[in-house]
Amino acid sequence: MPKFLSNTPPRGSSLYISTILLSILAVLYLASGFFSATTAPAKPDNMFDYQTVDGYFMQSDPATDPVGPDEKYPVYFDYTKYNFGLIAAEHYPNEGNQIDYKDRTPWQRFTSFLNALPATSPPGTQYRLLYLARHGEGYHNVAEAFYGTKAWDEKWSRLDGNGTSVWSDAHLTAVGEQQARDAGRFLTKQFSSEVKMPLPGEWYVSPLTRCLETANLTWDGFNGSSTKPIIKEMVREVMGEHTCDRRSSRTVIHDTVPEWTIEDGFAEEDELWRADHRETWAEHDVRSRAFLDEVFANEEGSKIVSVTAHSGTIASLLRVTGHRKFPLQTGGMMPIFVKATRND
Ligand SMILES: *[C@@H]1O[C@H](CO)[C@@H](O)[C@H](O)[C@H]1NC(C)=O
Ligand SMILES: *[C@@H]1O[C@H](CO)[C@@H](O)[C@H](O)[C@H]1NC(C)=O
Ligand SMILES: *[C@@H]1O[C@H](CO)[C@@H](O)[C@H](O)[C@H]1NC(C)=O
pLDDT at residue 344, as a whole number: 80
For residue 40, being part of any structural domain is answered with yes
pLDDT at residue 23, as a whole number: 57
pLDDT at residue 9, as a whole number: 38
For residue 296, being part of any structural domain is answered with yes
Segments of the chain assigned E as strands: 48-52, 67-68, 75-76, 125-134, 202-205, 229-231, 261-262, 304-309, 333-342
Domain count, the chain: 1
Backbone angles phi, psi at 28, to 5 degrees: -60, -40
Under a CB-based contact definition with an 8 Å cutoff, are residues 51 and 301 in contact? no
pLDDT at residue 12, as a whole number: 44
Distances (CA, A) of 178 to 7, 213, 285, 327, 330: 85, 11, 31, 20, 11
β pairing state of 67-68 and 75-76:
antiparallel
**Alpha helix segments (H runs only) across 72-138:** 106-120
Contacts of 111 by beta carbon, 8 Å cutoff, 6+ apart: 196, 198
Cα distance between residue 192 and residue 334, in whole Å: 18
pLDDT at residue 230, as a whole number: 97
The alpha carbon of 200 and the centre of ligand 2 are apart by a number of angstroms equal to 17
* Residues within 6 Å of ligand 3 by CB: 191, 199, 222-223
The alpha carbon of 127 and the centre of ligand 2 are apart by a number of angstroms equal to 30
* CATH code for the domain in which residue 134 is found: 3.40.50.1240
Cα distance between residue 100 and residue 108, in whole Å: 13
CA atoms within 13 A on the CB side of 180: 26
pLDDT at residue 69, as a whole number: 78
Which ligand is nearest to the Cα of residue 244, counting in written order? 1
Distances (CA, A) of 46 to 124, 129, 211, 311: 13, 20, 27, 23
Q: Pick from 214, 220, 257 the residue to mutate for probing ligand 2's pocket: most ligand atoms within 8 Å of its CB.
A: 220
pLDDT at residue 4, as a whole number: 35
Query: In angstroms, how far is CA 222 from the centroid of its own chain?
Result: 24
Cα distance between residue 289 and residue 13, in whole Å: 55
Which ligand is nearest to the Cα of residue 143, counting in written order? 1
pLDDT at residue 98, as a whole number: 61
For residue 1, being part of any structural domain is answered with no
Dihedral sign for Cα atoms in the order 11, 17, 20, 23 = negative
Under a CB-based contact definition with an 8 Å cutoff, are residues 157 and 141 in contact? no
For residue 2, being part of any structural domain is answered with no
What's the predicted TM-score (pTM) here? 0.85
Under a CB-based contact definition with an 8 Å cutoff, are residues 133 and 308 in contact? yes
For residue 9, being part of any structural domain is answered with no
For residue 3, being part of any structural domain is answered with no
pLDDT tens, position by position, for the chain (344 residues)?
343 333 443 444 454 445 544 555 444 444 444 444 444 444 567 899 999 999 999 999 999 999 987 777 889 999 999 999 999 988 898 988 766 687 899 999 999 999 999 999 999 999 999 999 999 999 999 999 999 999 999 999 999 999 999 999 999 999 999 999 999 999 999 999 999 999 999 999 999 999 999 999 999 877 655 678 999 999 999 999 999 999 999 999 999 999 999 999 999 999 999 999 999 999 999 999 999 999 999 999 999 999 999 999 999 999 999 999 999 999 999 999 999 999 98
**Most distant CA atoms of the chain, gap in Å:** 91
For residue 69, being part of any structural domain is answered with yes
- Report, in this order, helix, strand and coil percent for the chain, each rounded to 5: 40, 15, 45
Backbone angles phi, psi at 80, to 5 degrees: -70, -20
> Which atom, in ligand 1's list, is nearest to the CA of 162?
1
Question: Which residue CA neighbors atom 5 of ligand 1 most closely?
Answer: 143
pLDDT at residue 73, as a whole number: 81
For residue 74, being part of any structural domain is answered with yes
The alpha carbon of 137 and the centre of ligand 2 are apart by a number of angstroms equal to 19
Question: Which residue CA neighbors atom 6 of ligand 3 most closely?
Answer: 223
pLDDT at residue 6, as a whole number: 38
Cα distance between residue 328 and residue 123, in whole Å: 34
Q: Looking at the annotation, which residues are catalytic?
A: 135, 237
Which ligand is nearest to the Cα of residue 212, counting in written order? 2
Question: Which residue range forms the structural domain that includes residue 188?
Answer: 19-342
pLDDT at residue 31, as a whole number: 46
The alpha carbon of 213 and the centre of ligand 2 are apart by a number of angstroms equal to 9
Burial class, 178, CB count within 10 angstroms (exposed 0-12 / middle 13-18 / buried 19+): middle
Short-list 331, 324, 329, 344, CA closest to 60: 324
